Structure 1
Amino acid sequence: MTSTLTTPAPPGEHPPAAAPRGRTRILALPEARWALAALTLFLAALPLYLLEAPAWLWGPLFAAVYVTGGWEPGWEGLKALRDRTLDVDLLMVVAALGAAAVGQVLDGALLIVIFATSGALEAVATARTADSVRGLLDLAPATATRLSPGGGEETVPAAELAVGDTVLVRPGERVGADGTVLAGESEVDQATITGEPLPAAKQPGDEVFAGTVNGTGALTVRVERDPSQTVIAKIVAMVEEASETKAPTQLFIEKVEQRYSVGMVIATLAVFAVPLALGDDLRSALLRAMTFMIVASPCAVVLSTMPPLLSAIANAGRHGVLAKSAVVMERLGQTDLVALDKTGTLTEGAPHLTDLRPLPGSGLTGDGLLALAAAAEHPSEHPLARAVVDAARERGLTLAVASGFASAPGRGVSATVGGHAVQVGSPGRLLPDGAEQARAAAGELEDAGRTAVVVLRDGAPVGVLGVTDRLRPDAAATVAALTGLTGRPPVLLTGDNERAARRLAAEVGVTDVRAGLLPQDKASAVQAWERQGRKVLVVGDGVNDAPALAAAHCGVAMGGAGSDLALETADAVVVRDELATVPAVVRLSRRARRLVVQNLAVAGVFIAVLVAWDLIGTLPLPLGVAGHEGSTVIVALNGMRLLRETAWRSTLAGGGE
C-alpha cells in the first residue's frame, strides 16, 4: 500500500489535512489480481467447453487458469519442499494437475479458481486487520508548522520533526508531535489517546500528544519525542509486531500439520493403489485419490487459530489496549485470578491534600503548617510532595527558600527553612518516642483512609497532613466485572499501609488485601499463586510493579501516556488509562478462543464428512472442492468477526460471555 505526502502550505497558511489512508483496495493485493484473472479466464472457457467447441479454443484458456491461479502457491510450495516442509498449497496444485491428467480439466480448473479465490479472501482478511491498525496513523497530521529561532514559520512533514523543535498548533488543527506547551492556552480533545470524554485544558508546562485536536486557542509546543516514538506510533508498532507472533495453539497446529500432511500423502497413495489393485480402472482410482487429497487437506484447520486472535489484537489496539503478541491475547482469556495494584491502578495516581492538622503548642495555623511543609517539599519530585506544593499554590501561599535539601526513600525529606531544620515524611520513620499527639493524629487520618505525612521542626512534631488518592470512577465496576469473569474477587497488592488499603478495598468490593508490600513481595505472592496452578493476571502501573508483572501469567500495565517502562515491562498496556478496558480485553480474548474452537470444529466436521463420503461412496470432485474451500472461507470470515466495532462495544458492556 502506498501513501503520498501533501504539498506543504506556504508559511502562514493552514497546512492541508492529511489524506485518509482508508482501506486497502482489494485489487491492490496480488492474490486478488491473480484470483480475478483465473476467474475471468475460467468464465471465458466454460461456455466453450460446455458447447463442445474445439479443444484448441478452450484448452489454452483452461491452461491459463492453471497458470494464473496456481503458479504462485505452487512455486511457494516447491520452495518449502526444498526446505523439507510439505505445504498443503502444493498439494492442492498437485490435485488439480492430477484431475487434468485424467481428463477432468474442468474440475481441475474449478479447483484452481476456488483455491485462488479462497487465498484472495484470506489476503483481504489479513489486509483488513492491518488496515484497522494502520488507521490509527490517520490521527497524526502529515504536516506541521515549525517555528524558526528568528520567528519565521515553515510547513514541514511531521515525520521530519526532531526533539527540541518548536511547532505552532493553530485552532482546530491536530497536534503534530508529542511535546510540552511553551506558550498559549487552549482546550485539546485527546480522547483518542487518554480516553477523556471532555477536552483537556492546556497551558504552559502541560503535555500534548500527536494526533489530538486543538480547540480555540493557539499553542506553541516544544517537541519532546521523535515522531517514530509517539504514543500513536508505539501503538501501531506494537500491534504490528504482535500480529507477527504465533499463539501456542497455532504452533501446535503447525507442528502437527507436517506429520498430518505426510500421512495424508501416504493415505492418498493407498486410496489410489488399493482400488487399482482390486481391479478399478486407472481414471476412477486416480480421480478418487485426487478428491481425497483435496478434502483431507488441513487448510481450514491451519486457518482456524490466527484470524480470531489477530482480529482481537487489532480491535483491542484500536481502542488503546496493546497486547504484545498472539501468545498474550490467548493467555488473557485463561485468567482465573486477578491481582490489582492500588496507586495508579484502582486510583488515579494523583494524590491531593485533604487534611491540615497543626498540633497544639506549635504556634502554627493550617496555612502556616502547609507553607512550612511545602517549602521543604518544593525541590522533591515525589507524588506526595507534589500534592503538598500544589495545595500551597492553590491557596496562594508564599514559600520560603529552602536550603540543604535531602531526600531519603521511605522516610521523607529534610531541609532548612527560615533557619529551622524541617523534616516531612512517614510518621512511622520520623516521629520520636513520646510524640503521642502526632501519632494519634496520624492514626486517625490513616483510619479514615488517608496517607499521613508528619511535619517536624527542629526535631519536634508540629503538625500532620492527610493526603489521599482518588478512586478511578470505574474502579468498582471493573472489580465487579473481574469477579464475574474469574469467579472470585481480585486481590489487592499494595505498598500502602493496611488501614488505608482496606478502607479503599472495601469501597470497590475487594476482600483480600495484601498491604505494606515491597516490589519483591508482590512478585513472591504472584509466584506462589502460579505454583498452585493459578493463571494470574497482574494489573499495575508498570513501574514499581515490574517484578510482579514479569512473574505473572499475564501482566497488564496502566500505561497512562504510554511510558517507555510500562510498554517494555508488561505483556499488555492500557495506553488510554481506562481501567474498564481490562475486563473488556479479557472477554475479547475469551471470545477469540471460542472462535478458535468453533473454527476447529467446523474444519474437523467438513474434513471428516467429505473424507468419509469419498471413501465410502463417490464424492464428485467439484463438490469436494466446494466443501473443502468453503470450510476454509468460513473459518477465515468467522475469525474476522472480532474486527467489528460491535465486538469491542459488546465486550466493554459486559457481553460475550
Structure 2
Amino acid sequence: MKQIISLFVLDALISGAAAAWLYFTRGEYAALITGLSIFVALSPICLIFASPFTLYLAKRKIAKLGVKCNNFNALKILKDVNVLALPYNRVLTGGEFYITDLVPEGLNQPTLLAMAAGAETDAENVLGKVIYDTATLRSLRLQPSTNFKELPGRGVEATVSGVTMRVGNPAWLESFNVSISANLRTKIDTLLVKGKTVLVVATGRAARGLIALKDDLNDAAINFLGSVKAANVETLLLTAQPKKMTSYITKNFALDNVRTNLTPEGKAREVQIFRAKGKIVAVIGNDAHDLPALKNADVSFLIRNEELGIRNEDAKLDFEIPTLESFLAIKATALNVSKTLKINRLIALMSWLVLVPPAIMTALENPPIPWHPLAAVVGVVIFSAIILTNSLRTS
C-alpha cells in the first residue's frame, strides 16, 4: 500500500509540474489537457488491481477452505518455500495421549501415579493433564503441591509433602543429577523404541519410576508428507522427544530431517539455522511450545485448536488452518497467485507504455497523436478490465 501511495504522489508531482509549465507557456487549456492526461495515464490504478485485488481474491478462496489469512505478503513468499518444519505430537500423531506403562521402583503403581499427579496438578502441558486426569479417574489420593514450576518441553517441578518432586524427560532430570538406575534406563530405551513418550518421576535426586504415554500415529499425516515430498519441499521434524525415538519416527514417516530433544527455543534455533543456509522455511505448529519456531519462520501456520492455550490474535501468525492438509491447498493457491501477479504486472506495465507517451505528447503544439484525458480514462478502464479478468482466475 505504501508503494501505491508513493506512486500516486509521484504521479501528482509529474503531472502537476507539466501542467504548471504549460500554464505559463501555452495557457490554461493546454495545462489542463496535458496535466489531466498525464495524471490519468501515469496513475497506478492498474497496479492496484494487479496486486492487492488479486491477493484479496486469493484470501477469499482459501477462506472457503476454513483458512484465515492474516498476512497478504505471506502468500507471495509461500510459493518459494522449500522447507516445511513441523512438530511430532498432535501433528504427526492423533493428539489423544493415554498412559500405557507404569514402571515403579521401590513402590507400587498407584503410589507412583499419585505422586506424579500431585506434582502435575497445575500443569498446562497435555502430558501433565493426562496424568492428573487418569489419577483422578482412579480415585487416587493426591497430596497438595506448592512452588509449582513448568518448563516447556522439559517437565514440571513442585514441592509435595515438603519434598521437591520433578516429572519430566530423562535428559532434564539428569541435569539435576537425578540417579536413574540401570534397570530404569533399559526400560526407557525399550519404551522409546516402541514410540512411547517416557517421563521420569523423581523425588529429590532419586528416580522413583517411569510413566509411559502413547499418542497413536496420524494416518493422514503419512499421506500428507508423501504429497509434500512430491512437491519438492524438504521436511524438518522439530520435537522434544529423545533421540532414541528417531528410528521409530523415521520408520513410520518419510522425513528428510529430524531434530530431537529440543526446547521451544531450540526449535526456533533450528529454524534460524535453515534460514541462514538460504532456505525459505514454513513452520506448522499447534500449541504454545511451537510459538518460538513459528515466530522465526518465513511463513507460519497455526493449526486451529482452542484447547492448547494459543491464540492467533496474540501470536500474529500468517495463517490459521483447520487441518495439516490445508498447507498444500494454500501453497497451490500461492503458486497460482504468483503466476497471476506476473501477468497482471506485465499488463500494468503495458498500460503505461501505451498510454503515457500520447499523454506527454499533448504538451506539443501539434501532437502527432490527437489525445484527450477521456482517452486516457478509457485506456485505463480497458487495461484494468483485462487485469480484473485475469485476476478472477485466482477465485
TM-score with structure 1 length normalisation? 0.48
* Offset, 1:443: 1.0
* Counterpart secondary structure, 2:61: helix
Q: Does 1:355 align with 2:107?
A: no
Q: Which residue of 2 aligns with 1:581?
A: 326
Check 1:310–1:587 CA distance in 2 against 1; reply closer, same or farther (3 A cut): same
What secondary structure does 2:284 align onto?
Answer: strand
Equivalent in the alignment of 2:391:
639
Q: CA deviation at 1:307?
A: 0.4
Q: In structure 2, which of residues 192, 201, 216 is the aligned counterpart of residue 446 of structure 1?
A: 192
Structure 2: which 5+ residue stretches go unaligned? 362-366
**How far 1:268 sits from its partner (Å)?**
8.5
Amino acid at match of 2:121: P
Map 1:279-290 to 2 at 5 A. none
Please name the residue that 1:343 is paired with.
Answer: 89
What is the letter of the counterpart of residue 353 of structure 1?
I
Counterpart position of 2:10: 259
Equivalent in the alignment of 1:388: 131
Q: 1:478 to 1:263 in 2, by over 3 A?
A: farther
Kept in 2, the 8 Å contact 1:344–1:540? The answer is no
**SS in structure 1 opposite 2:62?**
helix
**Change over 3 Å in CA distance of 1:542–1:259 after alignment to 2:** farther
Q: 2:339 aligns with which of 594, 602, 620?
A: 594
Query: Cα RMSD between the aligned structures?
Result: 4.3
In structure 1, what is the equivalent of residue 289 of structure 2?
544
Asked if structure 1 preserves the Cα contact closer than 8 Å seen for 2:18 and 2:31, the reply is no
Answering whether residue 349 of structure 2 is matched by residue 604 of structure 1, we say yes
In structure 2, the residue matched to 1:528 is 273
| Superposition deviation, residue 503 in structure 1 | 2.7
- Which whole-Å CA distance do the structure 1 matches of 2:35 and 2:202 have between them? 90
1:618 Cα offset (Å): 4.4
Partner residue in 1 for 2:45:
299
Tell me the distance in 2 between the aligned counterparts of 1:292 and 1:412.
Answer: 69
Preserved CA contact (<8 Å) 2:200 2:207: yes
1:402 aligns with 2:143: yes
CA contact (8 A) 2:15 2:35 kept: no
Contact map agreement 1:264 1:297 (CA 8 A) in 2: no
Name the CA shift for 1:363/1:530 in 2 (closer, same or farther; >3 Å): closer
> What SS class does the counterpart of residue 89 from structure 2 fall into?
helix
- Displacement of 1:587: 2.7
CA distance in 1, matches of 2:313, 2:13: 42
- State the shift of 1:626 in Å: 3.9
After superposition, give the CA deviation of every residue in 1:159-211 in whole Å (9 maximum; x if it has no partner). Answer: xxxxxxxxxxxxxxxxxxxxxxxxxxxxxxxxxxxxxxxxxxxxxxxxxxxxx
8 A Cα contact 1:338 1:538, kept in partner = yes
Contact 1:567 1:573 in 2 (8 A): no
Relative to structure 1, the CA distance from residue 414 to residue 444 in structure 2 (aligned partners, 3 Å threshold; closer, same or farther) is farther
CA deviation after TM superposition for structure 1 residue 632, in Å: 1.2
Residue 306 of structure 2: SS of its match in structure 1? coil
Please report how far the alpha carbon of residue 569 of structure 1 lies from its aligned counterpart in structure 2 after TM superposition: 1.7
Alpha-carbon distance, 1:512 to partner:
0.8
Indicate the percent of aligned positions where both proteins have the same amino acid.
19
Give the drift of 1:540.
2.0
Confirm whether residue 468 of structure 1 aligns to residue 209 of structure 2: no
Is 598-607 or 424-433 further displaced after alignment? 424-433
State the partner residue of 1:630.
382
Q: Kindly tell me: are residues 267 and 594 of structure 1, through their superposed partners in 2, closer, same or farther at Cα, counting changes over 3 Å?
A: farther
Structure 2 counterpart of 1:490, one-letter code: T
2: CA distance, partners of 1:459 / 1:301: 67
Q: 1:426 aligns with which of 159, 163, 169?
A: 169
The residue that corresponds to 2:364 in the other structure is none
Q: Is contact 1:309–1:589 with CA below 8 Å preserved after alignment?
A: no
- Give the structure-2-normalised TM-score: 0.75
Partner SS for 2:68 = strand
Tell me how far 1:498 sits from its aligned partner: 1.8
- Select the structure of larger CA radius of gyration: 1
Question: Could you say which residue in structure 2 is the equivalent of 1:24?
Answer: none
2:317 to 571, 580, 583: 571
**Aligned residue runs from structure 1 range 311-322, under 5 A:** 311-322=57-68
Give the unaligned 5+ runs of structure 1.
Answer: 1-245, 277-282, 645-657
Q: Is the contact between residue 376 and residue 423 of structure 1 (CA under 8 Å) also seen in structure 2?
A: no
Q: 1:627 to 1:347 in 2, by over 3 A?
A: same
